[in-house]
Amino acid sequence: MLASGYQKRVTEILGRVFGNQTVIPEWSVAKDAADMFRGRRTYAPRLDIAVGPFNITRNVEDNLRAIDSKAEHPLIRQMRTRIESPNPNPRCLLAIEIEFSGSSKHILGDFTNASMMGWVGVVIGNSENTEKIRRVGNYAALLHALGKAPSLFRNVLTFQDSEFLEFVSSTGRW
């Protein structure tokens, strides 16, 4: 399956789990921003899939309370058990990057975006590059352990594409 088809499938499944309005494919972190990202000519990453609530207004405390309340969703709680700690000031609840063909540099960028933008970040690979993604994840963990990236990467999970579909498709458990 191509990355675009996989993205569509995951978006549909997550839409059933969280509600279609809170699951956005190709979400720019500046989209609908009413905070510091609004109207700025700056880098604004685009996540392959973002799940809200979104932290895009100047009312950060209310935004973070909304995200924290959704973090009690059983699927997110299950993810929480597999990370060291969530991002304390995310742009969205769940930031997903799908990487089926990238270099290690692209994968590290996916880790960085998922970590900085999501309460929980997810990097998904196909069977051909899952091992590379996990090696980059180990590198990111080492950076954190050495104090080189103290607040990054502690909230990122990696999955192979089929593993993630199985994980999120178990909606009967949620």
Beta pairing partners, 51? 23, 94
Question: Among all chains, which residue has been given the structure tokens 């309460």?
Answer: 119
- pLDDT, tens digit, 9 for 90 and up, residues 80-121: 999 999 999 999 999 999 999 889 999 999 999 999 999 999
Q: Distance (Å, rounded) from C-alpha 92 to C-alpha 106? A: 21
Confidence at residue 171, expressed as pLDDT on a 0 to 100 scale? 56
The DSSP H or E segment spanning 94 is strand 92-99
CA atoms within 13 A on the CB side of 20: 3
Confidence at residue 74, expressed as pLDDT on a 0 to 100 scale? 93
- pLDDT, tens digit, 9 for 90 and up, residues 115-154: 999 999 999 999 999 999 999 999 999 998 999 988 889 9
18 phi, psi to nearest 5 deg: -110, -15
Residue 98 in tokens: 């799908």
Amino acid at site 163:
E
C-alpha angle 106-10-21 in degrees, rounded to nearest 5: 105
Q: Distance (Å, rounded) from C-alpha 48 to C-alpha 157? A: 15
Its pTM stands at 0.93
SS3 assignment for 12-52: HHHHHHHCHHHEEEEEECCCCCCCCCCCCCCCCCEEEEEEE
Residue 40 in tokens: 């700025």
Amino acid at site 32:
D
